[in-house]
Structure 1
Amino acid sequence: TVGLKKLALRLAVYKGLREGWLAEHMFIVGMRGPGGRLTYFTGAFPAGCGKTATTMIADTVVGDDLALIREVGGEARAVNPEVGMFGIIDGVNPVDDPEVYRLLVNPEAEIIFCNVLLTEDGEVWWRGKPTEPRRGLNYAGEWWPGKVDAEGREVPPSHPNARFTVSIRLLEKLDPRIDDPLGVPVSGFIFGGRDPATLPPVVEAFDWHHGIVTMGAALESERTAAVLGKTGVMELNPFAILDFLPVSPGKFTEMHFRFAEKLARVPKVFQVNYFLRGKDGSYLAEKRDKLVWLRWMEHRVHGELDAATSPIGYLPLYEDLRELFDKHLGKDFPEHLYEEMFAMRTPQLLAKMERVRSAYEQDPDAPPELFEILSEQYRRVKELRSRHGDWVSPFRLDRK
């Protein structure tokens, strides 16, 4: 089925190239704001980087994986072409993922599981369930607590790439406009990857072209168990759609430039990174913090919050995040944590720009503007490093 999905999306991307619209590997969600307004975002993440979790923490869901985006009346409007949801189940638990967990344990819901443990008494078990795993069958055959493989390594009861498929119609947060033939108006594009050492939790691009290049085309992510190959390796995955592209990443980037030319209202572009680690190696953000990053983006779309200007885009101000954490999560957000999360790590940022530029120098379709935008960002980061060093506190940045 993944092969058929890949073929279908490749055909859609190519059709969009010929007709002037976008087929994206993106969720579509709605976030509520003051006065009950509903603001829609699309988001692209490589597998295992929080795409489903972000979808499920939003206020409404139009789609969790694919988006067809066309210009309608000067707006970018998105529809979900799928009827189901397909997500990684590893780590899903009732505390951090309450809605999807309730759905997955609902005996009335028709669900397809893979790479999980099926116990002898008929329970479907995955890592994240509060119960202890018991003897049964899993991806490697018969399983029991303490089982080891031929090399003496313990065999986990469920695989890190365990997944589920379910009808999207069963979601409590299903958006009322899911069947609107004109789609929903998109106010923001979000790109996210797994980056342990470089990018802050959320950044807003300076403009559409800057975001499409430095956040979409330059999207890097640490490889996870959701894909083949050695885990932990940083790899370039433009727009989180590399496996589905029938054209080069450079050509796909140019498609986005051309698409925006038709719009009277161009969406903002954001980048998120849920996987930044601190000096002790632990994640700096909690899983539920995603909600605050989304709330901040919703306010930024409507021009309601100021920001700090960094070389890579606009960053949240500490006082705004402190208020959002208290209002929406009921927890403190200490100043020292903000400083560690949103510091500019200039050597890592420069190395990232060098890797991305080197990759696109091999792409004959890469538009000249892509290199211009990368070079400008490289210059800004290098200038900041010359003034303030390798680690720059967000409190040293100018406000916008």
Structure 2
Amino acid sequence: WLTEHMFIMGVHGPQQRVTYFTGAFPSLCGKTSTAMMEGETIIGDDIAYLRRKGEEIRTVNVEKGMFGIIQGINSEDDPIIWEVLHQTGEIIFSNVLITKEGGCHWIGKDGETPSEGINHSGKWYPGKKDEAGKEIPPSHPNARFTLDLKLLGNLDPHIDSPEGVVVGGIIYGGRDSDTCVPVEESFNWEHGVITKGASLESETTAATLGKEGVRKWNPMSNLDFLSIPIGKYIESNLKFGASLKNPPPIFSVNYFLKDSEGDFLNQKTDKAIWLRWMELRSHREVEAIKTPTGYIPQYKDLKRLFKEVLSKDYPKESYNKQFIIRTPESLAKIERIKEVYKNVADVPEVVFSVLEEQRERLLAARKKQGDYILPEQL
């Protein structure tokens, strides 16, 4: 068994095929919005129990509800959650702004910000500041909603299946402004556990304690919930899939890449395309480009998916900006992760060897093609 801080969702592929993915993301990195992607189905957004049964990995959600960050939820980007939050049902709102009419408001909600209300700071009004002189937003950045999963219109029919569902792929995602590409597949189970899961980092946000924008290591997005030593936990993950002939592929996603001007290179809806590509890759129905850090999509496949799924064009320029291999940043990440694990007890030696192999591949690529390598150069 593995008990993971993961969503479980069904991604709908060709010919009405449904492939199930689990995914681990630190706070405010797109976990719930991914699990609630329009056109897909959800089994859970927080906890996944994974179990080997024969040559399969199966997973179940043991929770009844959903507990998500409400900041930024609006009718355009999150239509399913938006609809549920505005219908009759048992819903708990925490740390939002209570308006004088008895409604609630949060950062990023549709419409104008109310002129007054009550929030975590007491009576609130626009421009109110805290003791440090910092302006207090209408709702706390870590404001949440809690609801019964049965209220969701995209609930997967197998949510209560006692056998669980077969895991077709595992996703790790963090908030990363300058290093990782939007979606990438690992070379194999071992490589995925170590370079995607055990190396997961995320830039801190207002939903976490401390200063914003600090890159923090969070293996499998499970660091705060581990009941066993980190080294033992990573060893358990490695062993879990090692005995399978064909373990599910492991992917990484990053929705937060920025350009030199500080603007995001991805739109919120783009994650629908990364999901569909991962679904196709899990069945080996599209080819991929091998890079020093994993497999990335071919432009032709993403161009087709953008047109089919989102009915929009996907310029080659956007592809190159998103999927260029950033060797200096990737090498710096490896050094950060290696330094972390030097101070962790009982880390399997393979962690260091796999990271070193990746470092050597990056160095070789940089020597041949420079610091920044376009996919077409590979």
TM-score normalised to structure 1 length: 0.92
Q: Secondary structure at the match of 2:181?
A: coil
Structure 2 counterpart of 1:197:
178
Kindly indicate whether residue 196 of structure 2 is the aligned counterpart of residue 215 of structure 1.
Answer: yes
Find the aligned partners of 1:209 and 1:73 in 2 and give their Cα distance: 19
Q: Select the residue among 346, 367, 371 that pairs with 1:386.
A: 367
Q: For the Cα contact (< 8 Å) 2:5–2:221, is it kept in 1?
A: yes
2:132 and 2:159 map into 1 onto residues whose CA distance is: 50
Alpha-carbon distance in 2 for matches of 1:146, 1:283: 27
SS of aligned partner of 1:57: coil
Q: Take 1:22 and 1:365, find their aligned partners in 2: how far apart are those partners?
A: 19
- Written as runs of structure 1 = structure 2, the 5 A alignment for 1:1-400 is 21-57=1-37, 59-106=40-87, 108-134=88-114, 135-397=116-378
Give the counterpart letter for 1:158 in structure 2: S
Which residue does 1:15 correspond to in 2? none
Give the superposition deviation at 1:144.
1.6
Deviations 1:189-225 (A, max 9, x none): 0000000010000000000100000000000110111
Matches of 2:54 and 2:15, distance apart in 1? 25
Alpha-carbon distance in structure 2 between the residues aligned to 1:55 and 1:70: 21
* SS of corresponding position for 1:169: helix
Contact 1:71 1:262 (8 Å CA) reproduced: no
Contact 1:75 1:264 in 2 (8 A): no
Give the conservation status (yes or no) of the 8 Å contact 1:72–1:182.
no
Deviation, 1:26, is 0.2
How many residue pairs are counted as aligned between the two chains? Answer: 376
SS at match of 1:133: coil
Q: Is the 8 A contact 2:70 2:143 kept in 1?
A: yes
Structure 1: tracts of 5 or more residues without a match: 1-20
Residue 165 (structure 1) shift: 0.6
Report the Cα offset of residue 133 of structure 1: 2.3
Deviations for 1:141-168, whole angstroms, at most 9, x for unmatched residues? 1012232334443221111111111011
Contact 1:61 1:175 in 2 (8 A): yes
Query: SS of 1:281's equivalent?
Result: coil
Distance in 2 (CA, whole Å) between partners of 1:147 and 1:361 is 45
User: Percent of counterpart pairs with the same letter?
Assistant: 51
Summarize deviations over 1:11-70 as a string: whole Å, max 9, x none.
xxxxxxxxxx10000000001111111100000000110000101006110110000000
In the TM superposition, residue 261 of structure 1 has moved relative to its aligned partner by: 3.3
SS of residue matched to 2:271: helix
Deviation at 1:264, TM superposition (A): 4.1
RMSD: 1.1
Runs of 5+ consecutive residues of structure 2 not aligned to the other structure: none
Deviations 1:61-88 (A, max 9, x none): 0110000000123210000010010101
Decide whether aligned partners of structure 1 residues 216 and 75 sit closer, same or farther in structure 2, where only a CA change above 3 A counts.
same
